[in-house]
Structure formats: structure tokens, C-alpha cells
Structure 1
Amino acid sequence: MIDLRALREDPDAYRASQRKRGASPDSVDALLSADADHRSALQSFETLRAEQKGLGKQIAKASPDEKQGLLARTKTLAEEVKTAESRVTATAAAFEAAGRALPNLVAGEAPAGGEDDFIVLREVGETTVPENVRDHLEIGTALGLIDTERGAKTSGARFYYLTGDGAMLQLAMLNLAIQQAVATGFTPMIPPVLVRPDAMEGTGFLGEHSDEIYYLERDELYLVGTSEVPLASYHSGENLGDLSEPRRYAAWSSCFRREAGSYGKDTKGILRVHQFDKIEMFSFCRPEDAEAEHRKLLSYEEQMLKKMELPYRVIDVAAGDLGTSAARKFDTEAWVPSQGRYRELTSTSNCTTFQARRLNIKYRDEQGRNAVAATLNGTLATTRWLVSILENHQQPDGSVAVPKALQPFLGKEVIEPK
């Protein structure tokens, strides 16, 4: 839910935001209309209710002749109140639906356009394509790290087993990420991966991307595609106090995505799968601190990529590719030699007050007044990273060099053929 007061004061800013996303500004006008209808219905209902309450006092003081007229008015007024109350209910539902249909206000600095209109902010490291380059699946299969055939046999397409040093490599990466998070002030978390509809709705995932989510109808629970959802919901309905410093969490969880609409895309290997593990950072802060916090989350992601010794680039994602909740998003993309291009490994989003408004998460400002907090998220490590690690560290003899930061966890410098 966006800030209604800001919308009423400057609807053109929201219309411009929609155009920047490549979306229709009609949803802005639909929300303004629904808001006006709902406020009008409430005013009518409250006026009638006030009259209804006042009639009781009038009847007690009225003369016999006046009392008959007042009693007749009581009957008609009861019907009018009932009708007005029904209108309030109907306009409230329409208002809520219109509010949830409007995505967050795009940050002024975010580039306009769609998926291909991002801006490259920087490239770090040297990109190479080794002679006789092998892709991650060929490497992982030969070294006994990845088994997609048995994954498909057990669970279907886009499932896999990580085996032997493949499992150890992922555990090493995730452990390193959680250690870094704790060292930089994050509270480690292992959250639930099944959440109620209000948690999923509150974070903005039941809109345009709802077909990506696994839903357990019998239990009315959703499997999360990111632990951003349970982390955002952790403080739903709460007041976080003065929030003079951001409140930061880092969660280790399995994540699940249906990959609907991705038929034929990245079917080979573990780049686009239905289940994966991830360390997700999440921050609650004051809105005025959100931009600086966003830059910090990005710097933590870059620290991890450098520890993995991977060439990467950082892009400023265009408005049309932000999703419902984000006002601005940075992606970090690592080099994948077998494809000769960069592929997304992490993203970090500034959701401003959009999610906290839906989840009713407040803090107290300098005047002691309740205000809506800002939320941000960012990925610190995930299964997909193995793609770039294996390909960038492959050796001519078929082995894979282990990044120095991961060697203490694996107890070896090289993963060799068995």
C-alpha cells in the first residue's frame, strides 16, 4: 500500500512512476476514485449514525405528537444506516483492491524502461573464456558434485542433488555468508518457509508474480520463494521504538519457486531451479536512512562476490523490472564463461515504506509520533553462485580451485576428479 496522503497531494508523481515502469497510470486514478468513494461512504454513514443516536434523546423529550414522527423517522433511518453501512463495506473492498493494485513509487534515480534498460554502474574483475571451457553441469557431474538425473528421477525437472564436495561447497559458501552477516551487525535467523497469506500479501508477492509461488491449499499456506517474506512479517503489527539504528537480520532458508513461464529457459544445470538455499539480508530502518542502508547491503553483497574471486558487474535495474514492492533495485551479476555473459547472482531492493505500511510496522520519530518504517532486502549467497564458482575456477586438468575464503570450510584447495 502506498502513502495515500502523498498520493492525494501529488498524484502526478505516481502517474509518472507508472509510466516509468511502462505501466498504465489509470491505476492511480482508480485508487483516487476508490479513495474518494470510500471516504464519501464513511461520511454518509457517520452522519446517519449520529442522527440515529441523537433520535433517542429527542424521543425522550418529545411531546406525544412529535414522538410519532420521530418514531417513524427511526424506522426509515434504520434502513438508511443499514444501506450506508453496506456501501461502506463495498467501497472499502474496492478501495483495498485498488490500493493493492498500485505498486511502489519508483525512486527518481531508477532508470526508466523494461528488463533490458538497466544501467551498468561498474564492472569488477577480468572476464575470460578459457580454452575448451566447460559449463558448470559438465564440471559438476564429472567431479561428483551435482546430480540432475537423479534429481529429475526423484522430483522432476529442475530438481537436483548436490553431492560430496558439491554439498560441502554450498555449505561453505552459506556458512561464510552468515559469518560475514553476523560480523557486520546482522542477527542470524532460521525462519519458517511456510507462511500465511497475509505475510505473502504484505510483502507484495501475490500480485504479478503470484504464479511463481507454491500454494498448499489444504493448509492455506505458501512456500516462500525468498526468506524476505518471513523476515518482513517478523515484526508485523509491531512498533520498533525509535529505530535510531537499522534493525538487521540475516536468514538461512530453503526457497521454492515454480518458475512458471520459464519453459525452455536455463533448463540445463542449476541456474534456474525449483528449490535452492539462500542467505537473505533484511533491514528495518527509518525512511530517511533507507538510501544509505541500501548502499550498505550492496557493499556486503560485493564483499562476498570478491571473496568468491568472481568477476562481476553491478546494474541499476530499470523501473519496469523492479517488481511490486521495490522503489529501486541493484543487481550483481557474475561472469559465466560457458555463456560468455553475466548472469544475476544477487539483488538488493529498497522497498521504502511500501511493505511496512501493508504489514503495519511502525517506529517512533523524534517527536514521539508513530511513523511507518522502511524495509530493505538483499541476497548474500545462494545455490546459483555455484554455477559461476565452478566455471570461473575450472582448471585444464578437470579440477576446480577452491576460493581461498572457502578453503577452511572444505579443508582443501582444489576439488579434484575422483
Structure 2
Amino acid sequence: MLDLKALRRDPDAARAALARRGGSDAETFDRVLVLDERRREILPQLEGLRAEQNAASQAIGKAQKARKANPPAPGSQADADAAIAAMRDVAARAKALQEELTTVEAQLQESQARLPNLPHPDAPPRDTVIRTVGEPAVDGLDLRANAEGEASSAALDHLQIAGPDRVDMERGARLSGSRFAYLRGDLVFLELALVQWALSKLRGHGHEAVVPPVLVREEALYGTGFLPDTEQQIYTLPDDELFLVGTSEVALASMHAGEILEGDSLPRRYAGFSPCFRREAGAAGSADRGIFRVHQFDKVEMFSFVPPEQAEDEHARLLAIEEEILGDLGIPYRVVDIAVDDLGSSAARKFDCEAWLPSQEQYRELTSTSNTTDYQARRLGVRYRPEGGKPETMATLNGTAIAVGRTIIALLEHGLREDGTVVLPECLVPFGAPAVLPAA
């Protein structure tokens, strides 16, 4: 949620920043300013009427006590009746203003909630590749050979490499529908190794490991900016008024909702592991087959609470950790500064790390990190108290450490050898991953 004081202070700058997103936020922004102005007009009027009520009530109370102690003088009852009538008129006006204030505040909050975060001045107009790391393979060897018995130049994808005994899409679809899979055998140990290795690495970077709930109330999704914005992607349990999270960012951001943290306890850094659920509406293309885009997947997510002035440095820090992870796993990748009109409602700036997938001969998103400035914290009521100061709103940031399914895809395709086996990164072996996956 945007800071109303900042919007009032420089509305033109805020309007220009929102225009860079390319959406239709101008009308909502103007409505917010009008409602805010009306709210600020009502408050002193209501305060004045309440002061009149209090003064009149005290005067009438004194008059009534005096009348009991002394016989009423001629005309005094009429004066008292007039005062009572006047007070009733003031009370009616105060009630009407209070009702208008309640309506205005509700409309203001609704309109504020629909405004996205102001983008960072350096967020680019289009996706911009910052750097490319590692040498992507242009093609690969199809070990199955074609009908003529010759090798094909098309690289095997993860389903062909793993085989149905390790990525069982057919049985997953029979059980739950399309875009569900059974992960089996060695790939289960690979997944668990990825998670434990990532959590161990993040602990070394000062992140506390967390396994959060995956069912959350509406206010958690509202607080992180997923509502109102991505309703079509969210699984709901209407009978329980709960929602399945699409990322543990939601639960981690809400850990300190409504709290005031002491400034000397910051930064607070967490690493959440959880299953995630997304409806992923629409038909998947051939490049998204298998476990690349599914309804249920596991992820290790980084989350940070920091003072606002530290947000940009923290964003660079999270990106550096993501790159360290990809480097340790030996996955070629590129870093992309995401276009301003594709940031999502809560992000002021976002960087994606895209892994090179030989089977697709293109880069695909593997991790993402966003600086949400004070947008989420303001919605969630998360504040901190600087030493000797008053509570202030802090900044929050998130970043993917390991998107398990997509990371497994990259490891399978980059670790494939001519005999059909897959060599896995040595760093995962101490955490239970096999050093080599046998051929399918």
C-alpha cells in the first residue's frame, strides 16, 4: 500500500511513476486523492461537532443539577429545552458525518489496495539482460536415435532423460488431473538434497529456516499484494475461508504482521521451505510440458525485513545468493532486469535468473527476487522502532533460492552424458543425492 503522505507531497511524481507501469491506474490514483482530501475535510468538522456535543452535554447537566437544587425561574425550562434541541441537531449532524467518514474510509482503503507499488526509477521499460554466466549448449545428443538409426540433433528433455519411472505424469494425471506428477525413486532424494543443501547454505548467510503453513487467511494474501490482483491463480477453500499459497513469501511476510520490531533486531532474514500451489490457468505449451509448469511444486524462498534505506543493498544481496546457488550447481544462466510493466503489484524492481535449457534452446525463468520497498509492510502493519525513535514502516524483500522442479529439470539436462546417465553436482552428494543417476 502506498504512503498517502508521500502521494500528497508529490502527486505528479507518483502519477508519472504509475504511468510507467502501462496500466490503467490513473483513474484509481485520482480517486484516492479525492477520497483522501474528503476524509481530511470531514475529520476536523467531526471533531468540532463532537466538541460542541461535549460542551452542550456539560451545560445541560449543570442546568439540570441547578434546577434540582433551586426552584426553576420563569423561562428557564424553555432555555433548557432549546439547548437540548440544539444538542440533538448537533448529534444528528455528527452522526451523518460519521457515516460519511466510514464510507469514505472504506472506499479509500479499497482504492488504495488497487494501486500497485511505485516502480524503482531504474526499472527498465523492457526486459534487459544484465549479464550471462556460463556457456549454454546450443544443442544436445538424442541418445535414442531416429528411425534411420542415426543420432538426432534435438536435445533430450527432462521427461525423456528421467523416464516415466521417475517422473510419472500419467499416474499423476489419473490421480489429480493435468499438471500433476509423481516424483519417484532417485529424484526424490535429489529433491530432498536440494532443499537441505539450500537451507544449509542460507543458514550460513544468516537466514533462519522456516517451514510455514501453506493455508492462509485472506488478509495474508491481501497484505502481500496477491489480492486483489492474482485471484485467478489461487486455490481457495471457501468453507474454511482459507487459501493455498503460491509461494511461502505470503506466510513469511505475515510472520510479523501487526508487530513492532526493535530496530537493533534488524535485518530479519528467513528461508522458508514449503509446497506451493498455483492454478496456472490456460493451456501449457510444449515447452512447459512435464514438471516445468505444474499446479503443485516445492520451493525454498528467501525473505528479508530491513530498514527502508537498506532495501536496495539487500536486493543486491539476495540476487548474489541466487547466483551463487546457480554457480555451485553448474547451471548456465543469465540475469534479467524485469520490465516495469511486468513487475507485479507489490514489486518496485525485480531481477530474474533464467537457466539455459538445452532441450528448448532458450533461457527460462528459474529464480526471481523482488524489492517490495514498504508496500507489503504497510499493508501488513509491520513496523520497527529505531533506537530512541517512533515506530516506522520497514521494507520487505523476497527471492527464490531453489524452485525444486525447475532446478531438477536443469540438472538433468546439463548433467546428461552419452551413456544416458546423469552426473549430479558434487555439493549435493553429502545431502543424500546420488552422484550419478542411472540411464532411464
TM-score by length of 1: 0.95
Offset at residue 57 of structure 1 (A): 2.0
Count of matched residue positions in the alignment of Structure 1 and Structure 2: 413
Q: How far apart, CA to CA, are the structure 1 residues paired with 2:358 and 2:287? A: 15
Residues 69, 325 of structure 1: alpha-carbon distance in 2 compared, 3 angstrom cutoff: same
User: Which amino acid is 1:10 matched to?
Assistant: D
Q: Does 1:87 align with 2:109?
A: no
Which of 108, 126, 131 aligns to 2:141? It is 131
Relative to 1, partners in 2 of residues 1:215 and 1:265: Cα closer, same or farther, differing over 3 Å? farther
Counterpart check, 1:405 vs 2:396: no
> For 2:239, what is the secondary structure of its paired residue?
coil
Distance in structure 2 (CA, Å) of the matches to 1:97 and 1:227: 25
Aligned partners of 1:73, 1:236: CA distance in 2, in Å?
45
Are 1:294 and 2:315 matched, yes or no? yes
In the TM superposition, residue 49 of structure 1 has moved relative to its aligned partner by 1.6
Q: How much is the aligned-residue C-alpha RMSD, in angstroms?
A: 1.6
The runs of 5 or more residues in structure 1 that have no matched partner are: none
User: What is residue 127 of structure 2 aligned with on the other side?
Assistant: 118
Paired residue type of 2:336: I
Q: Where in structure 2 are the equivalents of 1:54-93 lying within 5 Å?
A: 54-60=55-61, 63-93=76-106
> Is the 1:11–1:28 Cα contact (8 Å) retained in structure 2?
no
**Runs of 4 or more off by more than 3 Å in structure 1?**
60-65, 261-267
Contact 2:334 2:354 in 1 (8 A): yes
Partner SS for 2:190: helix
Shift of residue 216 of structure 1? 0.5
Shift of 1:240: 1.1
Q: Deviation at 1:403?
A: 1.3
State whether residues 353 and 375 of structure 1, in contact with CA within 8 Å, keep that contact through their aligned partners in structure 2. yes
Q: Could you say what secondary structure the match of 1:13 adopts?
A: helix
Matches within 5 A, 1:387-402: 387-402=409-424
State how far apart, in whole Å, the 2-side matches of 1:38 and 1:326 are: 28
**Which secondary structure state, in structure 2, belongs to the residue aligned with residue 121 of structure 1?**
strand
Once the two structures are superposed, residues 10-47 of structure 1 have per-residue CA deviations (whole angstroms, 9 ceiling, x without a partner) of 11221112111112322221111111122223333222
| Shift in CA distance, 372/315, structure 1 to aligned 2, threshold 3 Å | same
Report the equivalent of 2:71.
Answer: none
Partner of residue 207 from structure 1, selected from 220, 228, 233: 228
Displacement of 1:262: 4.9
Separation of aligned partners in 1, 2:287 and 2:135: 24
**Corresponding residue for residue 35 of structure 2:** 34
Q: Is the 8 A contact 1:121 1:316 kept in 2?
A: yes
Aligned-partner residue type, residue 135 of structure 2: E
**Does the 8 Å contact 2:356/2:362 carry over to 1?**
yes
In structure 1, the residue matched to 2:69 is none
TM-score w.r.t. the length of structure 2 is: 0.91
Relative to structure 1, the CA distance from residue 69 to residue 232 in structure 2 (aligned partners, 3 Å threshold; closer, same or farther) is: same
1:373 maps to: 394
DSSP 3-state at the match of 2:107: helix
**Structure 2 partner of 1:247:** 268
* Residue 100 (structure 1) aligned to one of 101, 110, 113: 113
Do 1:214 and 1:257's aligned partners in 2 also have CA atoms closer than 8 Å? yes
Q: Identify if the C-alpha distance between structure 1 residues 73 and 411 changes in structure 2 by more than 3 Å, giving closer, same or farther.
A: closer
For the 8 Å contact 1:15–1:28, the answer to whether it is kept is yes
The residue type equivalent to 1:13 in the other structure is A
Work out which of the residue numbers 313, 319, 325 in structure 1 matches 2:346: 325
Is residue 229 from structure 1 mapped to residue 250 from structure 2 by the alignment? yes
- 1:270 equivalent in structure 2: 291
Structure 2 stretches of 5 or more lacking a match? 64-75, 143-154
Aligned identity (percent) is 48
Opposite residue 403 of structure 1, the aligned amino acid is P
- Which residue in 1 is equivalent to 2:149? none
Closer/same/farther in 2, CA of residues 316 and 156 from structure 1, 3 Å limit: same
* Aligned-partner residue type, residue 203 of structure 2: V
Q: Which residue of 2 aligns with 1:10?
A: 10
Match of 2:145 in 1: none
| In 2: Cα distance, 1:163 partner to 1:261 partner | 27
Q: What CA distance in whole angstroms lies between the structure 2 residues aligned with 1:225 and 1:139?
A: 28
Residue 384 of structure 1 corresponds to which residue in structure 2? 406
- 1:225-279 CA distance string (max 9 Å, x none): 0000110100011111014641101011010001124555755101110000110
Q: Which amino acid aligns with 1:79?
A: A
Superimposed CA distance per residue, residues 342-386 of structure 1 (whole angstroms, 9 cap, x where no aligned partner): 000000011111111111111112442110011000010022211
Residue 198 (structure 2) aligned to one of 162, 177, 183: 177
Structure with higher Rg: it is 2
- Give, in whole Å, the separation in 2 of the partners of 1:315 and 1:81: 55
After TM superposition, the structure 1 stretch with the greater mean CA deviation from structure 2, 15-24 or 224-233, is 15-24
Specify the code of the residue in structure 2 equivalent to 1:361: V
Distance 1:344 1:411, change over 3 A: closer
Amino acid at match of 2:320: S
Q: Which stretch has the larger CA shift, 101-110 or 33-42?
A: 33-42
